[in-house]
Amino acid sequence: MNSATGSDDPRDYLVSQGFENYTETDHATWRILAKRQREILHGRIADQFLEGLDRLGIGEEGIPDFRVMNQRLKAATGWEVVAVPGLIPDLAFFRLLADRKFPAGFWIRKPEQIDYIEEPDIFHDVFGHVPLIMQPIYADYLEAYGKAGLVAAEHGALKRLARLYWYTVEFGLAHTPEGLRIVGAGIASSPGETIFSLESPSPNRVEFDLGRVMRTLYRIDDFQETYFVLDGIEAWPSLDLDRLIPLWLDLEAQEDIQPGELQPDDRIVTRGDGSYHLAKAKSAA
């Protein structure tokens, strides 16, 4: 989720993608990222994600042209990708989602940043996020999330919605007939976390529970200590405000949960041994 400050009017941030301004180096960077990530994701990500890439024409040839991509996206789910210069304020972000517009940075990382950048670029935003928006249930979930965010701002519950976004849209896993699969964009655009999220013994993997997720803190600087697992690729949580508002009130009386902490009533898919983060803490001491 975004965390910039400034105007809450999304129109103040919409810009042209400037497709004609991309250099050959920019397109070459995209090709390296897309080829590598598609190979790593095979057998690890939900099939619907790969189908979305193909249907949208998000391939390895170079940076996608939003004008071409949006024709296919609008026809499928009524959504469109809009270019923004970077992170935008929460309310502007929510308003765009509520209007079925997904904000994406138009710039791409430099070749020396292939493996890590601090702020999401077009590869993360488009390759990671957009393919699943071709799925009507997921598209509806994002719209409902935007509308819920506007209400959360009035109830002092933005941190609850940020955690939900983080643990579903960015770092979600899901049960499928083939086993656990990735559905989160933050994982889908990261080669390291793609493997770590599914195959490392370190993180916890816990069945999704809405209240539990909205109590749980998260890491922004490293792989996650806990991943939450949806019941299925179409099991995105209901964001009915009649349920959410009382839940937010109830959660105010409960303590936050640390990223790697398990709870007695957790339905555990995999109990992590914490080895990755313990080793990093030891080496930093």
* Each residue's pLDDT tens digit, 134-148: 999 999 999 999 999
> Where residue 1 falls among pLDDT bands split at 50, 70, 90?
low
Helices (H), 61-218: 66-77, 90-98, 122, 136-154, 158-165, 185-188, 191-199, 210-215
Helices (H), 99-199: 122, 136-154, 158-165, 185-188, 191-199
Residue 164 falls within a domain, yes or no? yes
Residue 1 falls within a domain, yes or no? no
* Each residue's pLDDT tens digit, 70-93: 999 999 999 999 999 999 999 999
pLDDT value at residue 22: 98
Map tokens 């791409």 to a residue: 108
> Where residue 284 falls among pLDDT bands split at 50, 70, 90?
confident
Residue 124 is labelled as binding a ligand? yes
| Structural domains counted in the chain | 1
> Where residue 108 falls among pLDDT bands split at 50, 70, 90?
very high
Q: What is the CATH number of the domain that holds 156?
A: 1.10.800.10
Residue 4 falls within a domain, yes or no? no
Q: Provide mean pLDDT across the span 42-60.
A: 96
Residue 129 is labelled as binding a ligand? yes
Please give the residue range of the domain that contains residue 52: 10-284
Q: Provide mean pLDDT across the span 183-195.
A: 96
* Each residue's pLDDT tens digit, 232-246: 999 999 999 999 999
Report whether pLDDT(188) > 70: yes
Alpha carbon separation from 165 to 56, 103, 124 (Å, rounded): 23, 15, 15
Query: Which amino acid, 185?
Result: A
Q: For residue 64, give the DSSP letter.
A: P
CA 154 to chain centre: 24
* Each residue's pLDDT tens digit, 151-169: 999 999 999 999 999 999 9
pLDDT value at residue 117: 80
Report whether pLDDT(4) > 70: no
Residue 54 falls within a domain, yes or no? yes
Report whether pLDDT(115) > 90: no
Residue 225 is labelled as binding a ligand? no
- CB count in 10 Å sphere of residue 85: 13
Report whether pLDDT(283) > 90: no
Residue 161 falls within a domain, yes or no? yes
pLDDT value at residue 118: 78
Residue 3 falls within a domain, yes or no? no
Please say whether the beta carbons of 268 and 205 come within 8 A. yes
pLDDT value at residue 3: 58
pLDDT value at residue 278: 93
pLDDT value at residue 2: 53
> Where residue 285 falls among pLDDT bands split at 50, 70, 90?
confident
Residue 2 falls within a domain, yes or no? no
Report whether pLDDT(25) > 90: yes
Residue 220 falls within a domain, yes or no? yes
